[in-house]
Structure 1
Amino acid sequence: MNLLPSEIFRQFNGQGLITGHRGADRPVRRIAPVEDCAPGDLVFVDHAKYIGHVRAQKPSAVVTTEAIAAELGAIDGVALLIAPNVRLAIALLKQAYDDRDVRASEWPRIHPSAVIHETVAVPDDALIGPGVVLGAGVKLGSGVVLMANVVVERDASIGPGSVLHPGCVVGYGCEIGAGVILKAGCVIGSEGFGFAQDERRRNYRIPHTGKVIVGDRVVIGANTNVDRATYGATVIGAGAVIDAMCHIGHNVEIGEDCILCAHTGLSGSTRFGKRVIASGQTGTLDHVTVADDVVLLHRAGLHNSIKEPGMYAGGPAQPLKDYLKNMAVLPRLHDMWTRLKVLEKKLADLAKS
């Protein structure tokens, strides 16, 4: 990159991401961490503890809040770009100027090793990597990128601008929306975990014949598995973000803009409302429903539904305030038990006298 801070301001001022520009206007050549910056760099500062780095190392531009900018003051050669939400600025400026170019491939646009069924119409701007397999009736939107060894089974669809990293599998009939990112090794539309037993407890597979629908702008991390529905659809709402190595069971519905962190496992027919956040190793029993704007913490285990927004933690999940009180008591349980036994003995002695 080779941009002036004034150009960055003009590009992002209209959407309210960068609301002010003051100071110098020296060229920016890279985006760097504030701890390791130098002239020519753009850095993000969302905490006053980094002010010393800026003053000592003098990057070309600092994206920061109005309050921190006031503390920094004028520094010779340093531009200040004011951002009400520095973290959002990190996301959008890095996407614009410092992201991986997934279209910069060393391979031909359609690699000769790809196996593409004759019924598939490949858009002129699609990239098809080595070893890709596209089944009958697959639909590809414009600008899709399918990296090495992606498999898209029959009648599945991939929306415009979606990127499937190496080794992803999209099962038959599943629907991937626009601008979706599936990271390496994702499996979308595997058969769900459903079995019946006879009187001798032998297991019999229940075929899962539904599908998975992934909404627009969803990001799903590496080696995450989303099971197809028994009937109907497993649904991942638009804008949801799912971390690596999660498991989404059959007929689960995840609302818009949810965040699921690593190793979360949702049993069949779980329903998450909008903007639910599940921290690492959250788990649910089947048929649990979670209201909008719930935050699940500390390996939350959900045995029952949560009907009110708020923060919940532990297993079984409880309101965070109660959880913290109970956790504070836990290290003292042995001492309390010992004292209780002493009191019981004294009471028994009194009863005998």
Structure 2
Amino acid sequence: MNLLASEVFERFRHQGLIVDHRGPDMVIHRLAPIDDCAPGDLVFVDHMKYLPQVHESKPAAVVTTEAVAAELNDAGVSLLIAPNVRLAIALLKQTYGDRDVRNVEWPRVHPSAVIHESVAVPEDAVIGPGVVLGADVSLGSGVVIMANTVVERGARIGRETVIHPRCTVGYECEIGANVILKAGCVIGSEGFGFAQDERRRNYRIPHTGKVIVEDRVVIGANTNIDRATYGATIIRSGAVIDALCHIGHNVEIGEDCILCAHTGISGSTRFGKRVIASGQTGTLDHITVADDVVLLHRAGLHNSIKQPGMYAGGPAQPLQQYLKNMAVFPRLHEMWTRLKNLEKKIADLARAE
């Protein structure tokens, strides 16, 4: 990396990510965190508390807010003004500091890959060692499929999608464009469905639907998404799913949702748009969650949530009610003892009358 701060400004100003460039036009050699930076670095600063470190370390450029920049006018660094510093971190790191998944150490299509004769591999695709592509798999331009991934028959992989090592994409499943499947995730495993006879012996119900993952979705390592019994399990565009999550059959996750690690969503549940589920959220089946709901503190959903807002605990309740209940909880035994004493006194008074 070797570019001028003005070049960063020109690249991102039209989309409003960087709205101004002030100070000297310094040469940038790398992106670095503020607590480990040096001359030649570009750093991101969104709080006044980091001002001493900027003055001491003298990085080449600082991406920061208007308010912080006003305190750095005499620091001798390039100032790149960003209305949303965190978004600037994401997009600048994607552009200048991300891993190049297409720069591999072996042939573009590794000779150990097993590719069915019906598959057309785009000229710009990268297929790693041990990859298996079944019959009639469809690959979009620029796809990257890393080592030991299996894509079963009839599956569709959209353009510029990156599939990390040891993933499985089940038969007939559809993966959109610019999707990232991280290591070990499974898309389209059979859902959990059984019937019992009078002796409670279990009989598997075949799940013959599929999974549809729309564009710009990121799915974390070792996450599992079950195929539908019939129809489709759907992950809408822009959703982000963390590692070690489980999405049951016929679930629909809305656009731009965020599901944190260890979340489990039972079959036929519907999440609206922009729902955030913090770690270890869980639901019963056939639950519906409205747009813009935030689920906190290991939320457990026994019933649908129809209004936007913050909910917590199990069974999930509005956040303020949950916090009040949690404040009282450590004193429950004391309150119970006092109540029993009051009941005894009332009983004694009643007998005295």
Secondary structure of the 1:71 match is coil
Partner of 1:97: 96
Distance (Å, rounded) in 2 between the aligned partners of 1:340 and 1:52: 57
Secondary structure of the 1:72 match is coil
Cα displacement (A) at 1:158:
0.4
Partner of 2:110: 111
Distance (Å, rounded) in 2 between the aligned partners of 1:131 and 1:61: 43
1:1-353 maps to which residues of 2 (within 5 A)? Answer: 1-76=1-76, 78-353=77-352
User: What letter corresponds to residue 118 of structure 2 in structure 1?
Assistant: T
Secondary structure of the 1:131 match is coil
Cα displacement (A) at 1:339:
1.4
5+ residue gaps, structure 1: none
Cα displacement (A) at 1:345:
2.3
Cα displacement (A) at 1:341:
2.0
Cα displacement (A) at 1:74:
2.1
Q: Residue 23 of structure 2 contacts residue 73 of structure 2 at CA under 8 Å; is this kept in 1?
A: no
Distance (Å, rounded) in 1 between the aligned partners of 2:197 and 2:331: 48
Q: Residue 309 of structure 2 contacts residue 318 of structure 2 at CA under 8 Å; is this kept in 1?
A: yes
Cα displacement (A) at 1:71:
2.6
Distance (Å, rounded) in 1 between the aligned partners of 2:21 and 2:309: 38
Cα displacement (A) at 1:107:
1.3
Distance (Å, rounded) in 2 between the aligned partners of 1:327 and 1:337: 16
User: What letter corresponds to residue 44 of structure 2 in structure 1?
Assistant: F
Deviation string for 1:79-117 (max 9, x for gaps)? Answer: 110000000000000000000000111111111111110
Secondary structure of the 1:308 match is coil
Distance (Å, rounded) in 1 between the aligned partners of 2:351 and 2:35: 73
Secondary structure of the 1:311 match is strand
Deviation string for 1:99-153 (max 9, x for gaps)? Answer: 0000111111111111110100111111110100000000001110000000000
Q: Normalized against structure 2, the TM-score is what?
A: 0.98
Matched-pair identity in %: 80
Distance (Å, rounded) in 2 between the aligned partners of 1:250 and 1:133: 25
Q: Normalized against structure 1, the TM-score is what?
A: 0.98
Distance (Å, rounded) in 2 between the aligned partners of 1:335 and 1:69: 54
User: What letter corresponds to residue 34 of structure 1 in structure 2?
Assistant: I
Cα displacement (A) at 1:61:
0.5
Tell me the number of residue pairs that the alignment of Structure 1 and Structure 2 aligns: 352
User: What letter corresponds to residue 28 of structure 2 in structure 1?
Assistant: V
Distance (Å, rounded) in 2 between the aligned partners of 1:177 and 1:205: 30
